[in-house]
Structure 1
């Protein structure tokens, strides 16, 4: 087994786990990380898809109690039904447009110019929204109206543009719609389960001809690294947003986007 390849898998798995649920764009970070260490080719294509499942599993583990409560309360608990309906409604726009535009996005939008621009514009958006966002009206996911959930779902669709950040789009969209900061972050986590699972399954199906049993160990290592690092980051983020704004992530995106542009076109 190639030890260098395994170390690369650990590194990229950590990059995925750390950035997936922060409003900083995991796509942008994986692009530059993979380029820096020379991780490319068919294995990289499948690897970057599969390790997302590790990040999804982290949410399922961290919020297992809540997920079980909702699942077993669907029959006789109105709050559980309202919670599930909010997630389902918010998921629908991404399911529709993601299936419709998948090939276009992959073939046309996945390029450094789009990623760098999205990172910088998204950073400016965070700074603006944190300054002018409305007063919170929703303190819990169960309080979200169907229309509010649907609007958050449309905000999530912005993340189909590489570099936007799925978590960033949903969290900032929720803030604009009057959702309390911690609730917005947690709704983004729950919404990630069907959204990322659906996107990953679709990507795997499209890339099924690239799957190779010889690469299973490398993919497994990346999966575990993404899972562990995502657990750490999500726990930290919930505590962080309870006390702080997202301004630091806005400035980080602007700086990282500018540095990424310099990396691709100057260095």
Structure 2
């Protein structure tokens, strides 16, 4: 993977991480369409550039993340992230095995799109409009909803936002809490993928993520530039998404997922 292709993947990560359209699916499709070999470094890179996207939320909502007088905020995130950490740890190998199955991911993209078409009509009367009104119990429930995104193609953002709306949150409050919850969730996933997970266990040379990054100057450059690009693009996407969601709801995203998913199903079924 050269630097230009890495930047393209990072742009896609930044654009799609906080939108309800699945960043994992889009990065996988892009890598496939660009003819990239599905190496362990590519898979690790697609996970690790989430670090840049994490920083964009912290910067965009700096007052919230650095308001140490509001300890309830941190408690909610700590409890809400626990389901994903526990379930994700045990399902890591299963999740990785699905990442290369583009037919399955495309199908999930379509099914998720159908759900989004009806999401606005299902949750019409929100009662919670601010993060401070979210109880720890509701935060944990949203955390379990987020676990649905362990199936590639689902979208962590879509699962947690719909989970929030199911708990009575307004679209804006649900989207913002989804952003907040992404920080500990993706930070844990990134740290695990870089420092803990052993990639290529079935190969002759299994490596930790950081070992793959440090094995060449090209890998170091790709990792650093990828995270910077993901940060900048995600920051722009975050600023735009809330207003678009309030104005148009979920239907445009639902139709987008359905059209793209069907197109990709045709492509991967007939031409690959």
TM-score (norm 2): 0.89
Per the TM alignment, residue 107 of structure 1 is displaced from its structure 2 partner at its CA by 2.1
User: Given that residues 118 and 251 in structure 2 are in contact (C-alpha distance below 8 angstroms), is that contact kept between their aligned partners in structure 1?
Assistant: no
**CA-to-partner distance for each residue in 1:110-146, whole Å, 9 max, x for gaps?**
5113211211111111112212224101111110122
Instruction: Could you tell me which runs of 5 or more consecutive residues in structure 1 were left unpaired when the two chains were aligned.
Output: 74-79
Q: Which residue of 2 aligns with 1:253?
A: 257
Per the TM alignment, residue 177 of structure 1 is displaced from its structure 2 partner at its CA by 1.8
Q: 1:241 to 1:112 in 2, by over 3 A?
A: same
2:49 partner SS: helix
Per the TM alignment, residue 81 of structure 1 is displaced from its structure 2 partner at its CA by 2.5
Q: Which residue of 2 aligns with 1:124?
A: 114
1:175 and 2:165 aligned: yes
Per the TM alignment, residue 62 of structure 1 is displaced from its structure 2 partner at its CA by 1.1
Q: Which residue of 2 aligns with 1:210?
A: 212
Q: Which residue of 2 aligns with 1:105?
A: 95
**CA-to-partner distance for each residue in 1:59-106, whole Å, 9 max, x for gaps?**
11111121111xx21xxxxxx232222222211111110111112221
Question: Mapping of 1:182-201 within 5 angstroms?
Answer: 182-201=172-191
Instruction: Report runs of 4+ in structure 1 exceeding 4 Å deviation.
Output: none
Q: Which residue of 2 aligns with 1:20?
A: 17
Q: Which residue of 2 aligns with 1:42?
A: 40
Q: Distance in 1 between matches of 2:227 and 2:98?
A: 27
TM-score (norm 1): 0.91
Question: Mapping of 1:4-83 within 5 angstroms?
Answer: 5-40=2-37, 41-69=39-67, 72-73=68-69, 80-83=70-73
Question: Mapping of 1:131-146 within 5 angstroms?
Answer: 131-146=121-136
Q: Distance in 2 between matches of 1:131 and 1:196?
A: 30
Q: 1:109 to 1:35 in 2, by over 3 A?
A: closer
Per the TM alignment, residue 246 of structure 1 is displaced from its structure 2 partner at its CA by 1.4
CA RMSD of aligned residues (A): 1.6
Instruction: Could you tell me which runs of 5 or more consecutive residues in structure 2 were left unpaired when the two chains were aligned.
Output: 200-207
2:129 partner SS: coil
User: Given that residues 17 and 226 in structure 1 are in contact (C-alpha distance below 8 angstroms), is that contact kept between their aligned partners in structure 2?
Assistant: yes
User: Given that residues 134 and 176 in structure 1 are in contact (C-alpha distance below 8 angstroms), is that contact kept between their aligned partners in structure 2?
Assistant: no
Q: Which residue of 1 aligns with 2:230?
A: 226
Question: Mapping of 1:144-183 within 5 angstroms?
Answer: 144-183=134-173
Q: Which residue of 2 aligns with 1:77?
A: none
